[in-house]
Each structure stands twice: as C-alpha cells, then as structure tokens.
Structure 1
Amino acid sequence: MLDLRQLRALRAVHSEGSVTRAARLLGWSQPTVDYHLRIIDRLVGSPLLTRTKRGSTLTPVGHLVLDRAQEILTLSDRTLSDARELAKLGRARLRFGTFPTAAARLLPAIAAEMGDLGVEIDAVLEEVKPLVSHVNGRELDAALVYSVPGYELPLRPDTAATEVLRDPLLLALPEGHRLAGRTSIDREALLSLADERWLLGATPNDPMDAVVLDAFAAAGHELEVAIRTDDFQVMLGMIAARMVVGLVARLASGPVHPGVVLLPIDDPSFARSVLLVAAQADPGGQPTVAVRQLAGAVRHAVEELV
C-alpha cells in the first residue's frame, strides 16, 4: 500500500533534482529518502527515477505517479487543515469558484446559507476556462461555470456537473436601432445583423461567443468583432453609444441601462447552462457532504433570483 511519505519523497526529488537536496528539503536523512523511493519502485514494479551523476529525473512512469501524488498530497493536507479548523473554530472551509456575473447575483445568498451551516466559503472569481482547470486539478472543491448546447466542458470523468440554471441570452441593441422596437428576435432577424459591428468577450473560445459566431458561420457570414471585453458596464456603454451590438446573459443584465434595449431571442440554442461542477468523493459519484450542502444553497439562491 502506498504511504504518503513515499509520495512526498518522490515529489521532493522531482522539485529539487536530487535525493540529497530532497532530503534537505524534507528534513530527512538521505537513506530515509532512498528507502521510501525503493519501496514505491517495488510497489509500482518499475523505476520512477533515472539517476545520474548530475541528479535524478522522473521516468515516464514516475511522471504519471507524481501527477496522482500531487492530488493525493493536496487532499491529505487539506483534510488535516479542515479538520483542525473545524475542531478549533467549529467551522469547515469550502474552496468555491464562480464566474463574475454569478458571483454578483448568487454568491451573497450562497455564502450566507453556507455560513449558517457552519461552512465558510473561500471564493475565487475567474472566467470559465481557469475554473474548469482548477476543479480538474482539485484546487477547488466546486465551481459555478457555464456552457451552451453543443459545447462540452473538458471536465475529468470523476467530476460531476449539475445544471442549476438555464440562462437565456439577450440581444443588446442601442435605442433607435431598426430592430429595437421588437418584443423578441427570431433567428432570421438575428442573422440580418451580419453587417453590424459586434462586441464579444475577451476570453478566447468563450462558449457564449461560440454560439453566435457559429450561428452566423452556418449562414455563410463572418462577423466583424469590433471590441472585446468582459466588463459588463463597458459593454453596455459601447452599445448605448451605437458603436456595437452584442449578447448579454439574463443573469448579468440587472437593471435597464440607459440607451440599451435587451431583447429575448426565440431560439433555445441561445441560452447558457449554468453548472455546478465538483469532484466525486466516492466511486458511486457522490460529492462530499459540504458540496451537497453547497448544491442546496445554490438552488435556493437561484430560486430567489428567478
């Protein structure tokens, strides 16, 4: 059976480049480090290190083991930290990531409910791509992310995703635009905006941008992207100034902005799915108790919003 000391020894040799320096980093003797490395080699059935006079480097098998070891050691350290904090303060901590618009509309209610349950939220605000990366690397316990129909997020197989909100996309036009007087926009009317200057997000390959770019490409049009920004107020200001048109998620829309008209789109593909993603705590696919409590808090926050 693997021992955490074996994994720590392997990680230290990789970071320091030699057994001698690894022993110094860990505060162990060199024979102790060598002992744990021999044990893990025996368990795996293959050497994890290539040793030369210049130092030690990982073999391909060693890199595979180290990749898993990083997760195991991170979870081990986190378990001890959380348990000590709970014993000391009577509270647990949950690392939770969310994209900015969900943070503005949902995070206060989520944090309040979790606080009542004795769970303190360590919130991280990022765009979707880094959030997915953090969850896959187990640097976050859970995150709110979004996708659109036909665009799958690159989640690890042992990561569960649950839709908590279907968030329609709205067409944002300046007041006085030829389509601004409509009550809604169908696909034909949307495609008539192929010659307009468009505002899209600053994050490359954002699913919200992909759905509109692909819709126009399928009709043989290539949009002129005049401005890219993730700042919602900048976006609305540029649209009000008649510089661009764009899409806004309803979750982000908030109060009406002077000079801007927001119209629903009569096409179900123009909606994003807001997902709670979290690592599965066991082979049966169940997340941890704290994450299940978080899922309940997210659902309650969404119910209050809609």
Structure 2
Amino acid sequence: MIDLRQLQALSAVSAEGSVARAAIRLGWSQPTVDYHLRNLDRLVGTDLTERSTRGSKLTTAGTLMLERGEEILGLADRALADVRDLAQLGRTRLRFGTFPTAAARLLPGIVSRVSEIGIELDAILEEVSPLVARVNQHTLDAALVYAASDYRLPFRSEVHTTHLFTDPMLIALPEAHSAAATQRFDRAALLALASESWVVGSTPGDTLDELVREVFEAEGYKLDVAIRTDDYSVVLGLIAAGMAVGLVPSLVAANPPDGVVLRPIEDPRFARELLLAAPAGPGGPSTAVRQLAEAVRRSITALE
C-alpha cells in the first residue's frame, strides 16, 4: 500500500529538482527522502525518478504517479481539515432548500445522516427558480437544485455548486400507446411523439421542459401542453389514464403505477444534473456544507 510520505517525497523532488533540496523542503534527512522514493519504486515496479549530476527529475511513470499522487495528497489534507473543523462545530444549523420531488424521497435520509454529525436542517421546499434566488440572496445556506445538462442556472459568482448525481430522464407512456413497444427512444422515436398531448411542469422556465420544447421546435413541431403539474405522482397517474405522455426522472420512477411504461432516451441531454448550491468564500463551501453534500450523495446511493 502506498505510504503518503512516498508521495510527498516524489512531489518535493518534482518541485525542487533534486533529492537534497527536496529534503530541505520537507524538513527530512536526505536518506529519508531516498528511502521513501526507493520503496515507491519497488511498489510500482519501475523507476519513478532519473538522477544525474545536475539533479533529479521524474520519469514518464513518475509524472503519472505524481498526477494521481497529488490528488491523493489533496484528499488526505481535505479529510484532516474536514474532521478537525467538524470536531469544532458542535451543533450547527443550516437553512437548506430543496425541490419537492427530491424532498419526498431524499430528505428523511439526508436529515438522519447529518444529524449524526451534529448538523440540524431547517428545510424549505420550493421549486428551482425560487431556490436559486434564495441562494443568490444568501437567505439559504445551501440548496439542492437541478438543471438539464445543457443549461446553466443563474447563480451569482460567489455561489459554489457541487455536482451530486446525473439523473436520466425517461419517457413515460400509457401501456396501450402504440410506441410502448419501443425499447429505447432515439431522436426519431422522440419526434414521433410531437403530436401527442404532453404533461409538463407547472413552473415556468423549467430547463427540462425547455429542452423538450427546443428539440421539437428545431424540427418545426410545437409541443402540445395538455396539463401542467410538478407532482410526479399526478404525472404518472395522468399517463396511466391515457391522457398524456411525459418525462419522468429515474429517481422517482422506481415503482410506476399499472398502465405506465418507462423507456430510456438515447440523447444524453435528457438528464437532470442534481447540484448542491451554496454561497462560498475563496476556500469554497464550509465544512458543514461539504458534509451536507456527502449526506445527499449517500442518500441518493441508498435509493439506487
């Protein structure tokens, strides 16, 4: 197993150009630096440094090892900082916003996980546009939001976003629909639904609804919006009744009602990116917000 001191030695040699100067940089003896470099060479089975009278430089293998090693060292430093900060937090309260469909499935797990590490949440349920405004105004400490992959939400420059999950969208059709036998929807199959009645979100400017509209309009079709609702249980109920077709995120599609078929879409744009947005300083989000992001990730993973 790699010893972090081996990576520190390799990094110092790369920065200083010699083992002697690397030892000074690290505050170690030169034999200690050499010892860790040789052990790392033996571990990977090849020389990671080349030495000459002019100093030392990394081999191609050494450069690759350093690239990965810097990531490992950075994560190790972040882990230490996070745990030290967390130990000093005590009980921390965060104002946390989330959109309702995420709250229904994720919020209980998120609350449970952060409470174990001393973080309490004041949860606010709103659609994405108001959540973006609240984060920009600093009236929320963090918000779980989503956007289609080709869209950027209008956050201010000081707002930091952390990608948490890519949630593929599925076409939801009545079971008796003529296209229900299609196993995967490519662009042509999707455009074949242009004459159908669609159920879309009730919130204006939803990035996924805009994406569907743009795909149809690019081919000269107009999206026929029959019903608007942000409640996916209502969406699925309407589709089961044969009243419309629509898009459903995979996270809420685990147990569709009888009469509904769900089909994947080949176009990778049809996915929503779940993000945790938070006002942040130059050093990035606070330790509490980073712990919140990890709790959201773990809650999503538990649903898969």
Partner of 1:294, secondary structure, is helix
2:259 alignment partner in structure 1:
259
Counterpart of 1:172, as a letter, is A
Shift of 1:236: 1.4
Matches within 5 A, 1:37-116: 91-116=91-116
CA RMSD of aligned residues (A): 1.6
The Cα shift of 1:255 comes to 0.8
User: Does the Cα contact within 8 Å between 2:144 and 2:276 map onto a contact in 1?
Assistant: yes
Alignment map for 1:274-293 (pairs within 5 Å): 274-280=274-280, 282-284=281-283, 286-293=284-291
Q: Which amino acid aligns with 1:103?
A: A
In structure 1, the residue matched to 2:132 is 132
- Secondary structure (helix, strand or coil) at the match of 2:151 reads coil
After superposition, residues 1-306 of structure 1 pair within 5 angstroms as: 91-280=91-280, 282-284=281-283, 286-306=284-304
CA distance, structure 1, for counterparts of residue 290 and residue 194 of structure 2? 44
- Counterpart amino acid of 1:153? L
249-258 vs 200-209, which deviates more?
Answer: 249-258
**Residue identity opposite 1:175 in structure 2:** E
Structure 2: unaligned runs, 5 residues or longer: 1-87
Q: Name segments (4+ residues, structure 1) moved above 4 Å.
A: none
Structure 1 segments unaligned to the other structure (5+ residues): 1-86
TM-superposition CA deviations, 1:169-227 (whole Å, max 9, x none): 11010011111122221111010111111111100010110111111111111011111
1:305 shift after superposition: 2.1
Give the number of equivalent residue pairs.
Answer: 217
Letter in 1 for 2:279: A
Q: Structure 1, residues 29-64: CA drift from partner, whole Å, max 9, x if none?
A: xxxxxxxxxxxxxxxxxxxxxxxxxxxxxxxxxxxx
Distance 1:231 1:300 in 2: 24
Counterpart CA distance in 1 for 2:219 and 2:269 is 15
Deviation of 1:150 after TM superposition, in Å, equals 2.2
2-side partners of 1:118 and 1:105: how far apart? 22
For 1:162, give the aligned amino acid.
T
Query: Contact 1:101/1:251 (CA < 8 Å) preserved in 2?
Result: no
* Aligned sequence identity (%): 55
Taking the aligned partners of 2:238 and 2:298, their CA distance within structure 1 comes to 34
Deviation at 1:303, TM superposition (A): 2.0
**AA at the equivalent of 2:282:** P
What is the SS of the residue equivalent to 1:121?
strand
Q: How much has 1:112 moved relative to structure 2?
A: 0.7
